[in-house]
Structure 1
């Protein structure tokens, strides 16, 4: 969605939540999103779920990409989703997760509000296209 077409640029928050200190993937996806023409905000490491929610609301993002490798996805991701819901922002924010998420944990995350989960080896093009197709339309 380029501004040349009169549409608003997709705003993305790439978030590292919890004690996970590995951020290479977050930097790679942030660069891919920037190269695709998205506006990207990077949270930095070790953010709490509340800090991620506050940043998303304050920055009025269309998409939150949560990068998590720590194994705490079943605790931290729902807290982010609940926080977005409290602000009334969950319904108009696309939430995606990247990292090592076991197949058995994915249905509960999707049921809670995660739109898609990208594991190791996911294509950057596939991720960018998913965001383009699914980012909420806003005026």
Structure 2
């Protein structure tokens, strides 16, 4: 039973990491998550990995959605995952990556603990359904 089925809202942090200034997709997914009944926090632009980790831990989120289009996913996402692990939050946070991630980089990110990677053209419904089915129970 997901946390939403128990009457609790799924808490999500939608985060923009690094120098990537393209935030339209992050705003679209944040609004879609809100419309789906999730509680959504948006990090704002140009956040450092440690700022994202701090926000995720302090807000006690169930889901961390990292939006990245800069091509720096292979260095920034592992820093976030390492930070979550340092705080003991890696195992109970569903981490998603959205953006342009080449196929050859996806397995490395999943090995770091990323649960799913959603590229361009992924339907919002597919993303919402994935969160509902995989958000950790609290």
Alignment correspondent of 1:17? 17
Return closer, same or farther for 1:2/1:76 CA change in 2, 3 Å cut-off: closer
Q: Deviations along 1:56-113, whole A, 9 cap, x unmatched?
A: 0000000000000000000000000000000000000000000000000000000000
RMSD, aligned α-carbons:
1.2
CA contact (8 A) 1:2 1:37 kept: no
Deviation at 1:7, TM superposition (A): 2.7
Q: Deviations along 1:15-59, whole A, 9 cap, x unmatched?
A: 000000000000000011000000000000000000000000000
SS in structure 1 opposite 2:15?
strand
Deviation at 1:2, TM superposition (A): 7.8
Alignment correspondent of 1:69? 69
SS in structure 2 opposite 1:29?
helix
Q: Which runs of 4+ in 1 moved over 3 A?
A: none
Q: Which moved more, 1:112-121 or 1:6-15?
A: 6-15
Alignment correspondent of 1:79? 79
> 1:20-59 to 2 correspondence within 5 Å?
20-59=20-59
Alignment correspondent of 1:106? 106
Return closer, same or farther for 1:116/1:92 CA change in 2, 3 Å cut-off: same
CA–CA distance in structure 2, aligned partners of residues 130 and 38 of structure 1: 13
Ranges in structure 1 where 5+ consecutive residues have no aligned partner? none
Alignment correspondent of 1:125? 125
1:135 maps to 2:130: no
RCO comparison, higher one (Cα < 8 Å, 6+): 2
